[in-house]
Amino acid sequence: MKLLFIVNPLATLKVYKDSSVAMMRAAKTRGHKVFAAGISDLMLRDGQAHAVCVALEVRGGDDWFSAAEPATQALADFDAVLMRTDPPVDTDYLLATQLLQVAAEQGVRVLNRPSALRDFNEKLAILNFPQFIAPTLVSAKRDDIAAFLVEHMDIIVKPLTEMGGSGIFRLTLSDPNRNAILETLTHRGRRPIMAQRYLPEIAQGDKRILIIDGEVLPWALARIPLPGETRGNLAAGGTGRAQALSARDRDIAETIAPWAKANGIFLAGLDVIGDYLTEINVTSPTGFQEITAQTDLDVAEQFIIAVERGAEK
C-alpha cells in the first residue's frame, strides 16, 4: 500500500511515545510506502485533492526517519490517507477536514472520516451515551456552572477543544480562584465548557481504551496521575500502565464500537475513569507504544493490518 500520514511537523513527533511514529514504522515493516504531509500542505487543483508531501524512509532508533524532497501528489494515488494532526480543532484544522472531505467524495479513503472529525467533538461525543457518563453540564454561563458546583461540591471543568489535559481544573466551593478560572475558560461567558462531577477513581488511572475498525483491543492504558495531580494524561506527567479491560470497560467499549464504525471513526480512543466514560477521542488517539511495550499486543501492527483489510475490499 501507499499511505499518506497527515501529521504535525515530523521533527516535533516524540519518537518514544508518538502513536503516529509507531504506525509509520509498522507500515514500513509490512512493506508499505510511507508519506507525510501537514494540514497546510493540502490543496485542490482543478477540483482534485492533492498534497505537497514527502516520501519517508522509516527506521528504528531516535533518528527515525529521513525525508525525500517534497512533491505534489494526488490524494487519489494513495491507498489510505490517515489524518493524525493533534488538536486544537481550530479553523485551520476544520478547513483541512473540508479539503479532505472533497477527497473522500472523490473516492479517497480518509481515516478517520473527515465529517466525523468535524461532527464529533471529543468531549461532547460522550453525550451520545448517557448511560455511561457521570453528571455533566455544558454551559458558558458562570451561574450555571456555580450551581452545578454547589450541587456536586467537587467538579472538573475543561475546555471543549484542547487535548493532553490542557485547561483542565478541579474546583471546590472553597477554591478562591474559581470565578477567575471560569471567566478564563468561558472567555467571560462567551464559550461553553464542560463540567463534570469529580471522580476520585482518577487515582487508579484515566484509562485509554482503543477501538480499531470496530474491534475493541483487550488492553487499556491506565494513565496514573502524579501525586497531588488530578490529570492522568501522559502529557501532564502521568504514568502509563497497561491493564486488561474490566467488565465495565468492555461493556462501554463494545457499545460504542459499532457506533464508531458506522460513523467512519476507524480509530477511537475512549477515556474511562472508574466506571465512567469521559471522552471519545477521534483526532489522534494515542497509547500504542505504551501498550505494546507492556503486553504481547503490537497495537500499531494491528492497526496497519486493519488498514490493509479495508484496502482489499
Give me the torsion for CA of 194, 17, 25, 213, rounded to 10°.
-30
Whole-number Å distance between alpha carbons of 111 and 107:
12
Q: Is 123 one of the annotated active-site residues of the chain?
A: yes
Reply yes or no on whether 248 is catalytic: no
| Closest residue by Cα to residue 20 from 8, 32, 33, 2 | 8
| Contact predicate 222/240, CB 8 Å | yes
Residue 152 CA to residue 197 CA, distance in Å, equals 6
The active-site residue, picked from 25, 84, 109, 223, is 223
The grid coordinates of residue 300 equal 500499531
Query: Is 170 a residue of the active site?
Result: no
The 8-class DSSP code of residue 60 comes to: S
Residues 6+ apart with CB under 8 A from 258: 214
Based on the residue annotation, tell me whether 191 is a catalytic residue of this protein.
no
Q: What does each C-alpha distance from 63 to 13, 58, 204 come to in angstroms?
A: 11, 9, 35
| 271 part of the active site | yes
Residue 229: Cβ within 10 Å count: 15
Catalytic residue among 208, 233, 290, 301: 208
Which of 231, 233, 249, 301 is labelled catalytic?
231
Q: Which of 84, 113, 158, 178 is catalytic?
A: 158
| Residue 279 falls in the annotated catalytic set | yes
The H helix count followed by the E strand count for the chain is 8, 17
Q: Which of 113, 123, 197, 207 is catalytic?
A: 123
Residue with cell 502509563: 240
Is residue 231 flagged as an active site residue?
yes
Catalytic residue among 18, 271, 290, 301: 271
Say which of 18, 249, 281, 290 is annotated catalytic. Answer: 281
Q: Are 208 and 269 in contact (CB under 8 A)?
A: yes
Alpha-carbon gap, residue 153 to 19, rounded angstroms: 37
Strand partners, 222: 207, 241
The catalytically annotated residue of 249, 279, 290, 301 is 279
Does the active-site annotation cover 8? no
Catalytic positions, written as ranges:
123, 158, 208, 223, 231, 271, 279, 281
